[in-house]
Copies of this chain bind each other. A is one copy, B any other.
Amino acid sequence: MTESRPAHGKAISIEEYRELLPNMRSVTESNEVASVLTADDYFKVVNKPDTRPAFWKFADVRATLDRLAEEPLREAERRFCTTVNADTGELVGATPFIFIGWQLIHPGEEVPPHRHNSVAIYHILEGSGYTAVQEAGSTWTKYHWEKGDTLACPAWAYHAHYAEGDADTLMYVVQDMPMMAVSRTLFWEEPLGQENIRHMVTGTSPSWSVTRTKDDVDA
């Protein structure tokens, strides 16, 4: 599980594939990751300790948001934090499969268009504005929200958020990202229009990998 293994790459052509085929490495034995466990050994490791309840007072979330509010909204990134139950371990969720995010948007700001195949449910806690969503791959719609409204954005639908008015917008965001990430089925496109910069599993975009710049990706 080293971090140095490469991310899934770009699509290749059938011609490129035909060139690769005769020169591939051949494996005729069980390979290095193929283990065989007896029942006794398996039940010891598949067995997960229970997670304890997790309780977040809003003041602690607000403190983190206040800190983020001082920072610029980086190009392809959101000003948000997430509340994680430490007992979920590798899954890093509020529960094993569910992500809870708190997204702050200053009036006049845009959270740029992007998409992912985790779903996203936005509940508006404070503020007003709209979200532009591409519907099933064709037409786009602006959903105008205010406090109390909820918008469910389907998997892989482009979306962007726009805060309006005088006060900050605060969204309570629900996703199934932990389930998607741990099953290695997660896709991410951001910034929009760079389809090959897809952050499945290990990302290659500035926003997702957070340690890379767009120049790194373009290189």
Contact = CB atoms under 8 A, between A and B. Distances in A.
Residue of A37, A137, A147, A177 contacting most chain B CB atoms (<10 Å): A137
Interface string A20-50: 1100111111111111111110111111111
Given A13-B192, A210-B39, A183 B155 contact: yes
A16 B136 contact: no
A210 B208 CA distance: 35
Interface in A57-92: 57-62, 64, 67-68, 77-87, 89-92
Interface string A176-219: 11111111110101011111100011110001111100000000
B97 A46 contact: no
7 nearest CB pairs, A to B: A58-B148, A11-B195, A9-B137, A8-B137, A13-B193, A95-B119, A50-B136
Contacts of A130: 26
Contacts of A87: 1, 33
11 contacts: A17-B113, A33-B53, A39-B80, A49-B201, A50-B202, A51-B154, A56-B150, A61-B148, A61-B150, A123-B123, A156-B184
How many chain A residues sit at the interface, stated as a range, is: 35 or more
Number of copies: 4
B17 A192 contact: yes
B123 A96 contact: no
A82 B116 CA distance: 25
A195 B109 CA distance: 33
Given A40-B210, A95-B121, A117-B117, 19 more contacts: A7-B50, A11-B189, A12-B192, A17-B158, A26-B130, A26-B141, A33-B53, A37-B92, A50-B137, A52-B135, A53-B152, A55-B152, A56-B151, A95-B152, A95-B154, A96-B182, A118-B185, A154-B184, A187-B187
A174 interface: yes
Residue of A118, A155, A180, A200 contacting most chain B CB atoms (<10 Å): A155
A105 interface: no
A101 to B, nearest CB: 8
